Amino acid sequence: MKQSLKYLTDPLIKTNPITLQILGICSALAVTTSLSTALTMSGALSVVLILSNITISSIRKHIPTSIRLIIQITIIASLVIVMDMFLRAFAFDMSKRLSIFVGLIVTNCMVLGRAEAFARQNPVWPSFLDALGNSLGYSMILLIVGAIRELFGAGTLLGFQILPLIENGGWFQPLRLMYLAPSAFFILGFLIWIIRIWRPEQIEKPEFHILTPDDARKP
C-alpha cells in the first residue's frame, strides 16, 4: 500500500517530469499561454500516458528486446492519433488552438521515458499508478505556468476577467511578455529554483569543473 502511494506521489515533486527531469519542456512552453489550453493538453497527455503505460506493461513479458522501442513508439503514436482525432471531433476550436502540439505528444520524451523506464519492468497496477502520478506532476506544472501566464498576460483565468484591465477602466496593465515563449522559461526557471531551495537534494552536481590557475599548478 505504502509503495503504491509512493508511485503516485513521488512524481509530484520528488521526481517531477518537468522540474526535475526537464522533460516535456516543448509542450510546456507552447500550450501554456492560457489555462484552458494547458488543461486540455494535460488531459490529452494524461490519457495517452496512462493508456500507453497500461498497454506496454501488460505485454511487457513478450516485447522482443531488439524492437522494443519501435513497439513502444507504435503504441504511443496510435494512441496520440486517436486522441488528436477525438479532440478534432469534439473540441474543434480547442484542437485548432493546440495545433500540432497534441500530435507532438508522440515525441514527448516523458511518455516514452515512462514506458521504457517503468512500464517495461513493472506489473500493470504499479504502471498505472506511475502514469497517473507522472501525468499529475506534468499537469500540475502546466497548470501553474498556464495560470500565471494567463493571469498576468490577459488578466483572466479560464476566460473570466480577474484583474480589471486599464483599457476597460480598471488598473491592470497586461504584460505582453507573458504571451511569448520566453516567459514560460522564466516561470519554469523560478519554479525549479523554489523547489530546489526547498529540496536541496535535487540540485545536480556540476558536469564540468572550470579550471583555475590553482588547479593547473597542482600535480
Partner 1 sequence: MLDLNPLNWWRRLLALPNDNLTKTLVIAFLVAFTASVIVSFAAVTLRPFHIANLEKERQASLSEMIASLPGMDNILEGIGVDVVEIYIVDLASGEFIANIDPASFDQREAARDPNLSSPIPAEADIAGIKQRENYAQVFILRKDGDVQLVVLPVRGVGYQSMLYAYLALEADINTIAGLVFYEQGETPGIGARIEDPEWLALWPGKQLADENGEIKISVVHNKAVGPFEVDGISGATRTSNGVSNMLHFWLGDYGFGPFLTKLRASKERT
Residues that bind partner 1 (CB under 8 A): 61-67, 70-71, 74-75, 77-78, 81-82, 85-86, 88-90, 92, 99-100
Nearer to partner 1, 61 or 209 (CB): 61
Nearer to partner 1, 64 or 219 (CB): 64
Nearer to partner 1, 127 or 139 (CB): 127
Q: State the minimum distance, in angstroms, from the CB of residue 175 to partner 1.
A: 22
Q: State the minimum distance, in angstroms, from the CB of residue 86 to partner 1.
A: 7
Task: Name which of 123, 120, 77 is nearest 102 in CA terms.
Answer: 77
Nearer to partner 1, 63 or 180 (CB): 63
Q: State the minimum distance, in angstroms, from the CB of residue 160 to partner 1.
A: 24
Q: 488528436: which residue's cell?
A: 84
Q: State the minimum distance, in angstroms, from the CB of residue 182 to partner 1.
A: 16
Task: Name which of 141, 138, 119, 116 is nearest 130 in CA terms.
Answer: 119
Nearer to partner 1, 66 or 168 (CB): 66
Q: State the minimum distance, in angstroms, from the CB of residue 60 to partner 1.
A: 10
